[in-house]
Structure 1
Amino acid sequence: MLRFAVYGLIGWCLEILWTGLGSLIHGNLMLYSFTYMWMFFIYGMGIFLEPLHNKIRNWNIYMRGGVWVLTIFAIEYLCGWALDSILGHCPWDYGEGILSINGYIRLDFTVAWFFTGLLYEKVHDFLTMLQNISNNNYMSKKE
């Protein structure tokens, strides 16, 4: 549960930074940022991608990044479609632009998802290291 929360909180922070940067680029010096409550749960599902990370861990960075782009696009599309079906609207509706696919994903986010996937690899490794340290400390005290 803790790992789910960590992934969710990191996702929220990334969204706030991303949308704040977008505000700046569009001349808004207030740096308005936003995210959606739904995103906590969607980013939290990163915990289910840990086995995929373990399988591709030894691949080169470009292959791993490509896997993350495709995986994140698939998750984003499916979650957008599901929320649209349930709520009648996708919270992150990207509209009908040439790089938007049904308003659920934007192909110009490829680079952002490439690096987000690689960042989540580092988070996964860090959480695993902390868990191993915690388990070793627990076992030492138990003996």
Structure 2
Amino acid sequence: MSAALVQRDSHGTAKTYLWMHPIYGATALGLEFLHDRLRFLPRPVRALAYTAVIFGAEYATGWLLRRALGRCPWDYEDKGWSVKGLIRLDYAPFWYVAGLLFEPVREAFLRVTSEALRQTPEYRHAVENGTVAEPQHFAPVSTEQEAGEAADTFLLAEESELHPSP
């Protein structure tokens, strides 16, 4: 996409490698794993840890692809502060900002997903019929807890739709 912007391509065409999808997905899972373990730290410190995970994933997957395919799809050998052509240390500020944005974006996705589940016919029908109860909160809950409760309620609602009680 950035190449499209530089070349003033209004269609936003870009090219990527199929390898990037599992790499990005696995890195996101790594960030999720780390998030749960570092909650007690201040957000800027967690963002540093996320930056390290991103660099580690980029280096490790680049090294593995180079070993398996004979080359890495990205090659930083002649650019920036490169480490063996696999990562660029001058990208650290950008990855740090990505780390800072990870949690707010994650929470927004959780809220949107929870609300989407609540709007499904199965969920609404089950709550209206009293088959499942809408979670009641008497104290503030985390976005994760709310998303988990919405998912659990949806699964109960879906189950009650598939197997109604006599």
- TM-score where L is the length of structure 1: 0.70
1:77-108 deviation digits (Å, cap 9, x = unpaired): 01000000100000011123341111100112
Question: Which stretch of structure 1 is more off in the superposition, 28-37 or 88-97?
Answer: 28-37
Higher RCO by CA contacts (8 Å cutoff, separation 6 or greater)? 1
Q: CA deviation at 1:138?
A: 2.6
Residue matched to 1:5: none
Quick one: structure 1 residues 137 and 23, their matched pair in 2 at CA, closer, same or farther if it must change by over 3 Å?
A: closer
Partner of 2:39: 57
C-alpha distance in structure 2 between counterparts of 1:39 and 1:29, whole Å: 24
Letter in 2 for 1:89: R
Aligned to 2:71: 89
Aligned to 1:47: 29
Structure with greater helix percent: 1
Total equivalences in the alignment = 122
Residues 96 and 102 of structure 1 are in contact (CA less than 8 Å); yes or no, is this contact kept in structure 2? no
Q: Aligned residue for 1:24? A: 5
TM-score by length of 2: 0.62
Q: Which runs of 5+ in 2 are unaligned?
A: 111-143
In the alignment, the residues of structure 2 paired with residue 111 and residue 98 of structure 1 have an alpha-carbon distance, to the nearest angstrom, of: 13
Over residues 101-139 of structure 1, what are the superposed CA-to-partner deviations in whole Å (9 max), with x where a residue is unaligned?
111001121122123234433454434554531212333
Whole-angstrom CA distance in 1 between matches of 2:103 and 2:66: 29
What is the distance in 1 between the residues matched to 2:99 and 2:149?
A: 23
1: CA distance, partners of 2:37 / 2:18 = 30
The reply on whether 1:132 has 2:149 as its aligned counterpart is yes
- Identical aligned residues as a percent: 34
Greater radius of gyration (CA): 2
- Out of 90, 97, 116, the position equivalent to 1:115 is 97
- CA-based RMSD: 2.5
Q: Which amino acid aligns with 1:39?
A: M
CA contact (8 A) 1:50 1:124 kept: no
Q: Which moved more, 1:121-130 or 1:102-111?
A: 121-130
